[in-house]
Amino acid sequence: MAAQEAAVDSVRDREIGVEQEHLDKVYRRLEEKIHEAEFLMNDAAQRGQVGTPGALAERDAQVFRAGIHLNRLNNEFEDFLFGRIDLLLGKDGKKGPDGAYTAVEPAEGAVREDEGGKYAEIAETLHIGRIGVLDSDYAPLVIDWRAPAAAPFYRSTPVDPGRVVRRRVIRSKGRKVLGVEDDLMRPELTATLDGAELPVIGDGALMAALGQARSHTMRDIVASIQAEQDLVIRAPAASVTYVEGGPGTGKTAVALHRAAYLLYQDRRRYAGGILIVSPTPLLVAYTEGVLPSLGEEGQVAIRAVGSLVDGAEATAYDDPAVARIKGSSRMLQVLRKAARGALETSEPARGRTRRGAPGRGGAGQDAGQLSFGEAEAAEESGEGGRSGEGGTKTPGAVTPTRLRVVAFGRRVELEAEELRRIRHAVLGGTAPVNLLRPRARKLLLDALWSRSGAAGRHTDPELAAELRASFDDDITSEDSFIEFLDAWWPELTPRGVLVAMADERRLGRWARRVLTPGETRRLARSLARLDASGHGPLSVHDVALLDELQTLLGTPARPRKKREYDPLDALTGLEELMPQREETQRERAERLAQERTEYAHVIVDEAQDLTPMQWRMVGRRGRTATWTVVGDPAQSSWSDPDEAAAARDEALGSRPRRRFELTVNYRNPAEIAELAARVLALAMPGMKSPAAVRSTGVEPRFVTTGGARGTVAGPDLAQLVRDEAARLLDQVDGTVGVVVAMRRREEAARWLAGLGERVVALGSLEAKGLEYDATVVVSPAEIADESPAGLRVLYVALTRATQQLTVVSGERDEPDAAGVPDLLRE
């Protein structure tokens, strides 16, 4: 036995040695290329001093190329080389651009057969890595994982092996090969490589990857992408690629790898940027390291759905009833009215909900402010408050009810009724309110002109036109006219309109026959979180409203600010490639988002959660884009999935969709998946949960105090959860997540104080997309009762663990003798 093990070890060591030799060769080649690149940089710098146009152009081209080399090669390539396939002779003997044979199927005669079995000689060996490397003769030392020649590494299965005989995953750190794991795709075959039998090492790489401890950041899965996932990653980017799959099937991982694949495959096409929309900032932080590890970051912006609007960052949560109103497509009708109605601030604000701390209202100085507090006093005087630059409404500004100017030495006035008529005429149609100001100005001048009596003074049309022009000049240079226009037709901002909507009485008018009085009250109260200047905590749903309002209001053209000249600008694209410019993924995403409002490809993760209003917001960012939409209806926290699906269909238009399904759960062991499936059966009867790929033998644990009906509350609950988290921290190497109902978030963080960084407390909605080695789910009934989608949210909470799960019963859980709460019983 011992001798047998020693023999296996020695074969393993020998195979590790074989891969080490190859990796050494690759690094030698990389070093040569780094020297080449450095030489190019130095040479380019010297040429830069010559200064003739030809030399400068040449320098630019060299610096550009050297930038590409250095940036790629200087990246830390931990497990840079991760795979290998040994292949049979191909059918046609043709080679592709990466130097590998292109045929997917083996040549006839590649496999010999006699009564002793089947035999073949390995005709080609390819190594797969994060970037492609050619040797000095242009033969492939490493194939980029996204290249067509690498596809068999992911696609080949024992059922459909193609040319692949053995697939090997190589584990390395820096320049050292640590281990190899092989899968045989043609186990019936005796294959030889250079005359010796092909050895097979280990139990396969997938299981090794899945068993690893989790940290607070996601790892790429490039070494173990599975065939059904690879089909999605490499799907042609036509129209909409639509992917459904249960928890843990790799949807997020696939979405990220797809972004990297698309860029590799057609960098020019995606120069317009790829946007990945993620449900929470926590998930953004969890996933944002994956793309850099795949050698891609510059062109991809990963943004939380609450951070899609510049300058707005959602930090607050709406309670489910309010979220339901704000997310619903009914809001569109309300916002249309509000965007126009907010121009008028001349009414007393009696119905306005109280908001903020005393004295805050009216104190802000930012653009876009509307105030109703001080409006009433000024209103009576008929004086328009002079606003800030560009006619933006300031606190205390009020809509004037009379326009009084002096023209040709005479006083000309327009009274309230006339002004109302003009406003009405301007607002006809659907044009954005802020873009109507020139038209408002024109109609005011027309009305003043006809009032002035000067209209009939000349019969000669030329003289009449001249008189009119000088009349207009006179009036428009008068301070009182400018002040009037600024106050009467101020530039509205989305935040200003949201503040206006916090006035329950006015909101009631805008929402008539759309929202019920109860809904109107709730909505107004929730918006009263904002202070008079529109600042204050925004919710993820508010951000979609801001975006919609931005479209309804429009942005008037302004003279562009000149940017300072940066000599690097002359080198197209160089700033993306130069390693010196260190910018984090987040900073880069910020910058890209500022520069871009539309993208070439939009990837929506956890798409089932987007509300109709959020779909509209995301849709605006990809009007001409191709799309990848990944989601799981069973995990939807939106109360009305049908309404959201209709909004999704509207955002995606009539583009054809290619549908994919992911069917294997790589996250949860079977023991946990089985428990979660019981909740799925309640949440969405008939919906199938994905098959778990492994089992750990560790059943979920149920914890109660064992008191009357096993109920737990108050300090007992805190202690129980803390003890359980501490126990799990001992059991696993990685992270522990404690998932509680949203209202317990802060309390739960206190329960865990001092237990260290490996453990975190999360509200149920924050757990979306994340995973931990072990989780504690606290009071399933509380989570389920939180919203109409509560059971689906509970399903999400129960599917976060890669190894162990503990369920702690709370007051409402009614656990049985074994501690299993009501909702989780078979």
Q: Dihedral of CA 721/723/726/728: which sign?
A: negative
Round to whole Å and give the CA distance between 480 and 486. 10
Q: Which residues touch 106 (CB under 8 Å, ≥6 apart)?
A: 88, 89, 90, 91, 162, 163
Round to whole Å and give the CA distance between 603 and 253. 12
Q: What is the smallest separation between the CB atom of 692 and ligand ATP, expressed in angstroms?
A: 11
Would you say 153 or 666 has its CB closer to ligand ATP? Answer: 666
Round to whole Å and give the CA distance between 148 and 730. 45
Q: What is the smallest separation between the CB atom of 331 and ligand ATP, expressed in angstroms?
A: 27
Residues within the interface to ligand ATP (CB under 6 A): 206, 209-210, 221, 224-226, 229, 245, 247-253, 632, 635, 666-667, 769, 771, 799
**Collapsed DSSP state (helix, strand, coil) of residue 721:** helix
Q: Alpha carbon of 657 to those of 240, 273, 647, 697: distances in Å?
A: 5, 21, 15, 40
Q: Which residues touch 212 (CB under 8 Å, ≥6 apart)?
A: 219
Round to whole Å and give the CA distance between 739 and 722. 12
Q: Alpha carbon of 36 to those of 316, 552, 653: distances in Å?
A: 52, 54, 49
Would you say 229 or 493 has its CB closer to ligand ATP? Answer: 229
Would you say 451 or 694 has its CB closer to ligand ATP? Answer: 694
Would you say 481 or 795 has its CB closer to ligand ATP? Answer: 795
Burial class (CB in 10 A: 0-12, 13-18, 19+), 10: exposed
Would you say 209 or 482 has its CB closer to ligand ATP? Answer: 209
Q: What is the dihedral of CA 700, 704, 709, 713, to 10 degrees?
A: -130
Would you say 186 or 251 has its CB closer to ligand ATP? Answer: 251
Beta bridge partners of 736: 759, 774
Which parts of 194-288 are beta strand (E)?
A: 196-197, 240-245, 274-278
Q: Alpha carbon of 280 to those of 316, 543, 590, 816: distances in Å?
A: 12, 13, 16, 35
Q: What is the smallest separation between the CB atom of 783 and ligand ATP, expressed in angstroms?
A: 16
Instruction: Return the structure tokens found at 453.
Output: 């009596």
Q: What is the smallest separation between the CB atom of 748 and ligand ATP, expressed in angstroms?
A: 21
* Exposed e or buried b per residue across 216-253, where buried means at least 16 C-beta atoms within 10 angstroms of its C-beta: bebebbbbbbbebbbbbbbbebebbbbbbbbbbbbbbb
* Exposed e or buried b per residue across 783-793, where buried means at least 16 C-beta atoms within 10 angstroms of its C-beta: bbebbebbbbb
Would you say 466 or 661 has its CB closer to ligand ATP? Answer: 661
Would you say 219 or 812 has its CB closer to ligand ATP? Answer: 219
The answer to whether 242 and 660 have CB atoms below 8 angstroms apart is: yes
Q: Which residues touch 38 (CB under 8 Å, ≥6 apart)?
A: 66, 70
Helix (H) or strand (E) segment spanning residue 594: helix 585-595
Q: What is the smallest separation between the CB atom of 698 and ligand ATP, expressed in angstroms?
A: 18
Helix/strand/coil percent split, the chain, to 5: 45, 15, 40
Would you say 172 or 229 has its CB closer to ligand ATP? Answer: 229
The answer to whether 229 and 252 have CB atoms below 8 angstroms apart is: no
Q: What is the smallest separation between the CB atom of 605 and ligand ATP, expressed in angstroms?
A: 7
Round to whole Å and give the CA distance between 750 and 752. 5
Annotated binding site for ATP: 245-252
Round to whole Å and give the CA distance between 799 and 217. 18
Would you say 471 or 772 has its CB closer to ligand ATP? Answer: 772
Fill in the DSSP letter of residue 374: T
Assign residue 27 a region (left: φ > 0; alpha: ψ between -120 and 50; beta: otherwise): alpha
Q: What is the smallest separation between the CB atom of 793 and ligand ATP, expressed in angstroms?
A: 12
Would you say 324 or 667 has its CB closer to ligand ATP? Answer: 667
* Exposed e or buried b per residue across 711-723, where buried means at least 16 C-beta atoms within 10 angstroms of its C-beta: bbeeeebbebbbe
Would you say 655 or 659 has its CB closer to ligand ATP? Answer: 659
Would you say 101 or 795 has its CB closer to ligand ATP? Answer: 795
Instruction: Return the structure tokens found at 815.
Output: 């656990």
Annotated binding site: 245-252
Q: What is the smallest separation between the CB atom of 668 and ligand ATP, expressed in angstroms?
A: 9
Round to whole Å and give the CA distance between 155 and 19. 22
Q: What is the smallest separation between the CB atom of 635 and ligand ATP, expressed in angstroms?
A: 6
Q: What is the smallest separation between the CB atom of 760 and ligand ATP, expressed in angstroms?
A: 16
Round to whole Å and give the CA distance between 259 and 254. 9
Q: What is the smallest separation between the CB atom of 616 and ligand ATP, expressed in angstroms?
A: 24
Would you say 378 or 797 has its CB closer to ligand ATP? Answer: 797
